[in-house]
Amino acid sequence: MAQKRRRRKLTEIKAAYLKRGDIYNRRGDYDKAKAVFFKALAIDADSPTVHSSIAIIYMRQGMFEEADKYITDALLLDPSCESTYEVLELSEKEQKKQEEENK
């Protein structure tokens, strides 16, 4: 019973971290967003949502190799997660855009 409550509480904390990270991301405060997402990752390392969220932050910072690592991890955790494929597509578009700007 106590273990069930603990798991439920950790799930609630992870959800709060994801929500806070999304807020920081929308504000453009990527360092704070990344820090909060890593707290969520410490709670649930098997969450494709957390991995994708971290990938988005790295992508926004132009760190595409790091973003790709987290996208790959998310896909390995759940190959059927549609939102991860959306993040992958967005990352590919952003990389192409950056390459074009650097020409």
Report the b/e string of 61-92 with b at 16+ CB within 10 A. eeebebbbebbebbbebbeebeebeebbeebe
- Tell me which residue of 45, 98, 90 sits closest to 67, measured CA to CA: 90
HSE-up (13 A, CA, CB side) for residue 75: 13
Count of domains forming the chain: 1
Q: Give me the average pLDDT of each 10-residue run along the chain (103 residues).
A: 88 96 97 98 96 96 95 95 92 89 82
Domain extent for 11: 2-101
**The pLDDT of residue 2:** 84
**The pLDDT of residue 76:** 95
Please tell me the pTM assigned to this model.
Answer: 0.90
**The pLDDT of residue 33:** 98
- CATH number reported for the structural domain that contains residue 93 in this entry: 1.25.40.10
**Dihedral-angle region of residue 29 (phi above 0 means left; psi in -120 to 50 means alpha; beta otherwise):** beta
